[in-house]
Amino acid sequence: MVAIFQSSITADDVKAKARELGADLVGIADGSVMNDNPPYPDDPKSPADITEHDADRVIVLARRLSLGTSRIQAWDNRHKFYNDELTITALEETALELVLWLEEQGYPALMVPPTHVDPWKYDGNPDKHLSPLLSMDHAAVEAGLGTLGLNLQLLTPEYGPRVMMIAVLTSAPLDADSRLEQPLCQGPECGRCLSACPGDVIGQWERDWRGCDSYRNPHGFNHLTEFLGNVIDQTDPETQKKMIRSEDSFNLWQSILRGAGAVIGCRRCQDVCPVGEDYDSMLKDAVHEIAEDSPEKQIRLKDMVAGGEGNYLAQSRWIGILEK
């Protein structure tokens, strides 16, 4: 780019603009550092995979979730889905406006979808877990917004895990933020995320993502293909019509209409997490008791505390330094 056409902007300028546009949290990560430290080496996804030109900096934007919906216990409550869909839409609009503003200053930029999976990785198997183009949780840690929890989800000091994130890649020469070294998560000593998980998919600093998919994306592509397959398998036309007109079909239609490609669903682990300035004042009275807890889950948590480190070493960069 020709410098004469570029305005002089700082990281503080960008953060102020992002907040003006609606972001609750903003951090900036060094793209080259992210390229050198992929969170999952077997399936590395880095800013350089998205663009070879304008990934010097990764600006991570976050918007908080509605606490009123977090106070609702049912994981599959439609009000939660609806509010989360609107939050994603608002977040995308904020990111797009920031991209356009950066380019007005002379710096090319592009946004990375918050939860949309990588379509080029699809191999015809709808049961296979597909991850996003870039791990927003790990990017947010690199941008100084928080640390990862027991379930490998971002925790922030302000809102705990109750945020949605999106990233903007840019060539603007901005100062990058530093990672937090002190972990925000108490690990299995707390374990509320594990206790509340309806699918029981949370391990020790890891998660069964395939098992989680059926809850965090209950009306996604996997369910759509299964539903259509069941309709095709019916030999009775009246049964097929009844299935097409069913509530299940209606939910799939709404999911496609409002959030095609996005992952919207269970966030029970986020709702019950005690991390965040919002928990004691806005959530604790409604979510302290965990109906999904069981003696078996408590035994597993005690075994984690007494046992080894689980998957900690592989994710320690983003979890933080645990006290021995």
Total Cβ atoms within 10 A of residue 100: 10
324 residues of the chain, pLDDT tens digit each: 556 678 899 999 999 999 999 999 999 999 999 999 999 988 888 999 999 999 999 999 999 999 999 999 999 988 898 899 889 889 999 999 999 999 999 999 999 988 766 666 777 777 777 777 899 999 999 999 999 999 999 999 999 999 999 999 999 999 999 999 999 999 999 999 999 999 999 999 999 998 998 898 888 888 888 999 999 999 999 999 999 999 989 888 877 776 545 567 899 999 999 999 999 999 999 999 999 999 999 999 999 999 888 999 999 999 999 876
pLDDT at 34: 97
Can you say how many angstroms the Cα of residue 243 is from the centroid of all Cα atoms in its chain?
32
> Comparing C-alpha atoms, which of 98, 123, 122 is closest to residue 109?
98
- Delimit the domains of the chain by residue range: 3-185+309-319, 221-259
Backbone φ and ψ for 135, nearest 5 degrees, come out as -70, 110
**pLDDT score at 259:** 57
List phi, psi (to 5°) of 127: -80, -15
Going by C-beta distance under 8 Å and a sequence separation of 6 or more, which residues neighbour residue 148?
Answer: 137, 138, 141, 154, 155, 185, 205, 315, 318, 319, 320
Q: What is the pLDDT of residue 4?
A: 63
pLDDT value, residue 68: 97
Q: Are 115 and 262 in contact (CB under 8 A)?
A: yes
In this prediction, residue 245 carries a pLDDT of 94
